[in-house]
Amino acid sequence: MITDDRWERLLVMRAAQPEAVAEAYARRARPARLLNERGAMFLVAADHTARGMLRSGGDPMAMADRRDLLDRLVTALAHPDVDGFLGSPDVVEELLLLGALEGKVVIGSMNRGGLDGATWTMDDRFTGYDAASIVAFRLEGGKMLLRIDDEDPATAPTLEACAQAVTQLAAHKVMAMVEPLPYSRSDDGSLTLRLDAPSLVRAATVASALGTTSAYTWLKMPACDDPEVVFGATTLPCVVLGGVPGPDFAAQVQSWGRTLRQPVVRGLVIGRTVLYPDGGDVAGTVDAAAKVLRAVTDEVAP
């Protein structure tokens, strides 16, 4: 929990001690390896606000209260099975100043320029971390969103920019986490995520080939009905994204099980699903997700 005193110290550092951010990056205790002792990775994500996405469930302003968001993140990161965090620079730095990222895997979010609801949303400009800053700040990797819409020419520059970022990160032997998501656009302009196997396989194969080498590339892919087909399309390590909050979290978590059992899958990345659960029990929701991942990794361990 973020007490009043802790919150006040954060605000004072933000206003009067900007150098504290660089100091916090430099002194952060890094994890010994990307994967935990069970060969898995459980990350909590919060890079949504950087592209203006504040909605969770039925509340269009759920993520607007920054103290509340950070409090939820601190609670989630305190769970012993949560290995790290994926976020935009501002949130990463606030969590660093709060001391919540010690010993954690930290993945920096890179392209957030495709603002939610904007006409140019598929042109996902790199407005967050770049490869140089991820290396300089001693982060464990960089994440990029690659939404693919065959009818939107803005997809092309995003493809090219992601390829360049993969190459740049690999040059420093740093993980590039690519999130390839196929979309279709309705007549009213709304976008729909395509979760059919052919669309997801195509997106995965495109993302796998980005850059001059795939040696340090990971994929962040959604759970789906045909995980054997989708995750059989790559040898790259994959993490499963949790998706948007649903009315029945228990059923949603259990539905991830089949996907988590695929040989290339190495973990789980969840954002709003655990941060803004129905009923507000962040700790309990994180624990439920952690138990599912632990059960799968214990089941497949040699």
**β-strands 175-185, 191-193 pairing:** antiparallel
CA atoms of 136 and 168, how far apart (whole Å): 13
| Residue 244: band (very low, low, confident or very high) from pLDDT cuts 50, 70, 90 | low
Q: What is residue 247's predicted lDDT score, i.e. its pLDDT?
A: 64
pLDDT at 221 over 80: yes
pTM of the prediction?
Answer: 0.96
Decide if domain 20-300 falls under CATH 3.30.70.580.
Answer: no
Q: What is the pLDDT of residues 177-204, one digit of tens each?
A: 999 999 999 888 889 999 999 999 999 9
Question: What is the pLDDT averaged over residues 49-56?
Answer: 96
Q: What would the DSSP string read from start to end of 134-199?
A: HHHTT-SEEEEEEEE-TT-TTHHHHHHHHHHHHHHHHHTT-EEEEEEEEEEE-TTS-EEE--SHHH
Question: What is the pLDDT averaged over residues 238-247?
Answer: 78
- The residue that leads in pLDDT, 139 or 258, is 139
- The residue that leads in pLDDT, 245 or 108, is 108
Question: What is the pLDDT averaged over residues 12-34?
Answer: 98
Of the chain, the percentage scoring pLDDT greater than 70 comes to 96
Tell me the CB-side half-sphere exposure of residue 259, using CA atoms within 13 A: 24
CA atoms of 137 and 24, how far apart (whole Å): 9
| Residue 242: band (very low, low, confident or very high) from pLDDT cuts 50, 70, 90 | confident
| Residue 231: band (very low, low, confident or very high) from pLDDT cuts 50, 70, 90 | very high
pLDDT at 302 over 70: no
Q: What is residue 298's predicted lDDT score, i.e. its pLDDT?
A: 80
Q: What is residue 257's predicted lDDT score, i.e. its pLDDT?
A: 84
Q: What would the DSSP string read from start to end of 63-113?
A: T--HHHHHHHHHHHHTSTT--EEEE-HHHHHHHHHTT--TT-EEEEE-B--
Q: What is residue 236's predicted lDDT score, i.e. its pLDDT?
A: 98
Q: What is residue 130's predicted lDDT score, i.e. its pLDDT?
A: 98
pLDDT at 36 over 60: yes
Mean pLDDT score across all residues of the chain: 94
Question: What is the pLDDT averaged over residues 108-128?
Answer: 96
| Residue 301: band (very low, low, confident or very high) from pLDDT cuts 50, 70, 90 | low
- The single-letter code of the amino acid at 215 is A
| Residue 246: band (very low, low, confident or very high) from pLDDT cuts 50, 70, 90 | low
